[in-house]
Amino acid sequence: MQQRALGTSGLQVSALGLGCMGMSFGYGQAHDSHEMIQLIRAAVERGVTFFDTAEVYGPWTNEALLGEALEPVRDQVVIATKFGFDIDQQTGQNRGGLNSQPAQIRQVVDASLRRLRTDRIDLLYQHRVDPNVPMEDVAGAVKDLIAAGKVKHFGLSEAGVEAIRQAHAVQPVAALQSEYSLWWREPEQEILPTLEELGIGFVPYSPLGKGFLTGKIDENTQFDKTDFRSTVPRFSPDARQANQALVDLLGRIAQDKQATPAQIALAWLLAQKPWIAPIPGTTKLHRLEENLGAAALPLSADDLREIGEAAARIPLVGDRYAEAQQKMINR
């Protein structure tokens, strides 16, 4: 597996990481922990060194899962986790808002270290920008944690240009994590140029459009009520039917390349910048292997131009989040 540098921070990760949220949160019922531990360890065996989790995934259960899975290989991997939601540190109750108060950050980090069975967090993200806490205070709190050796690198998730600049002025930001794929290209407008200017790496989550770009979802797919896609406008049956044109495009290109739509989508993303490291998630070994195959899929400049231009001509239907979730994304 090729390694990539996340900007100029010195943080090296595998070109493709593994997003672990769906193993225990967000995409239906939690999966068997033993099976997921085996999957995580299989990813390590296949060269994946970059693993993504968060306090809110559960809450807490996903961090604990990752901690158990990676404990035997801790020094071989990069673990990223996140703070920022208003979670009661005694009960684990998610109170539904944001909380990036410095005292909360410190408590969350100490608890995350215990769950992850480690003495340091390689990459600590603010999960969402908190409008009630100055970014300078957030970055200052993380800077103190870095000085204490509990955190190695600082990251932001779904932050806008102003917040990125404010944070970076206090504590250099190693990476920004935001949604980016052929069906959500908004970061190309302002985010990617800013990251390139500042030497910040980019970690796209949902690089397969929350599963839609795999070609395994259509307008007839039924989502469990515990699957957050059941509330996402872009996953309504009408939107899925309208957006099928993008999947059909990927399917045609994939057939020519003897690849899969998912591999084309990931290879396109990897080719955008050398400091991009997507984190597709999966709960199945064959999907993990399929995704990792994208890192070795060659796309020429003509291929990339064809894919990008054809995808841009397809009007996508539906917002990417329900209203309450969208309000937490501060651009």
Structure tokens at 275: 């400091």
- 331/191 Cα distance (integer angstroms): 10
- 143/168 Cα distance (integer angstroms): 11
Q: Which of 27, 57, 125, 205 is catalytic?
A: 57
Helix (H/G/I), strand (E/B), else coil: 95: strand
- 27/275 Cα distance (integer angstroms): 28
Structure tokens at 63: 């961090």
Beta-strand ranges (E) seen in the chain are: 3-5, 12-14, 18-19, 50-52, 78-83, 85-87, 94-98, 121-126, 151-157, 173-179, 201-205
Q: Which residues does 318 contact at the CB level (< 8 Å), separation at least 6?
A: 232, 233, 234, 235, 236, 239, 242, 243
Is 57 known to be catalytic?
yes
- 63/277 Cα distance (integer angstroms): 21
Enzyme catalytic residues: 57
